[in-house]
Amino acid sequence: MSPSPDLLFYAVATGAVLLQGISKAGFGGAIGTLAVPLFALVAAPQQAVAILLPILLAMDVLGLIAFRGRVDFAVLRIAVPSALLGVLLGWALYSWLDADWMRLLIGIEAILFGWATLRAGSRAWTGPRLPLRTRPAVLWSAASGLTSFVAHAGGPPMMQLLMPLRMPQQLLVGTMVWHFAFLNVSKIGPYASLGLLDGANLGISLMLLPAVPVGYFIGLWFLKRASPAVFVRMTAVAMLLTGVRLVWDGST
C-alpha cells in the first residue's frame, strides 16, 4: 500500500479530513462516511481507512475536550460494549466480509431513515425524549462497530439509534463523540495486526493533521448556532446524501 502523494492526492485528502471534522463536530458524524469514498478517489480503500484512523483519534481528543459533560452514559453503557462486539466481528471476518454489500445495506437504511425524518417534520425534534430501548440499541450499536471497522461508516447506524430519542443536539453529538472515541481506540490493535498502520500511511496521517482543527471548529461553529429544526433537517439531508453515496459505492 504505497501511496503516490502528489498535489492532487493531498488536495483530495485534505478535503476528506475537513469534511470528517465538520461532520463529527457539527452533525454527529452523519456525513463523515463520505470521507472514505472521497479519499478512495486517490488511494486504495484499505489505505484510506488506515490513514484516517489516526486523524479520527485526533478529532476524538478535540471532541472529548469540547463535549466534556455532554454525554448520555445510559446510552453508552449499552452502545459501547455492543459496538466493541461489532469491531471484534469485523476483525475476525475481515478477509471474508464483502464491504460493498455492507455499504449497500447501510446506504439503503440511511436513505429510508433520512427520508422518514424529513417527512416527520417538526415531530422529529419536538415533544418529550423517547425512552431508550435495549434491543434496538444493541442492534444499531453492533452494526456501528462492524461498519466502523470496515469503512469508518459507523455514523448512520448510531444516528438511527440516537435521533429518535430527541436529545438536545449538543448532547447527541457529545454522546456520539464519546462512543466513537472508545470505538476508534479499540481499532488500533486490530488494524496494526492486519498491517494497515504502516510507516507510509502514518506519515501521510501526520501530514494531514493540521486540517483536523480547521474542520472540527467549523463543525462546532455550526452546531452552536443551529436551532433544533435546522440541525435535524440538515442531519437528515446529510443522511440521505450519505445513503446515496453508500448505495452507489456498494452497487458499482
DSSP string, 134-184: HHHHHHHHHHHHHHHHHHS--HHHHHHHHGGGT--HHHHHHHHHHHHHHHH
Q: What is the largest CA-CA distance in the chain?
A: 52
Predicted confidence (pLDDT) at residue 97 exceeds the cutoff of 80: no
Out of 160-169, 199-208, 220-229, 230-239, which region has the weakest mean confidence (pLDDT)?
230-239
Q: Can you give the pLDDT at residue 3?
A: 45
Output the nine-digit C-alpha cell for 155.
455514523
Task: Tell which residue, 57, 111, 64, 78, has the closest CA to residue 251.
Answer: 111
Question: Cβ–Cβ contacts within 10 Å for residue 212, how many?
Answer: 23
Name which residue leads in pLDDT, 99 or 221. Answer: 221
Q: Can you give the pLDDT at residue 193?
A: 92
The per-residue pLDDT for range 35-55, each reduced to its tens digit, is 777 776 777 777 888 899 999
Q: Quick one: what percent of the chain has pLDDT higher than 90?
A: 41
Predicted confidence (pLDDT) at residue 99 exceeds the cutoff of 70: no
Out of 31-45, 80-94, 109-123, 148-162, which region has the weakest mean confidence (pLDDT)?
31-45
CA distances from 240 to 27, 62, 189, 233 (A): 13, 27, 33, 11
Output the nine-digit C-alpha cell for 206.
501526520
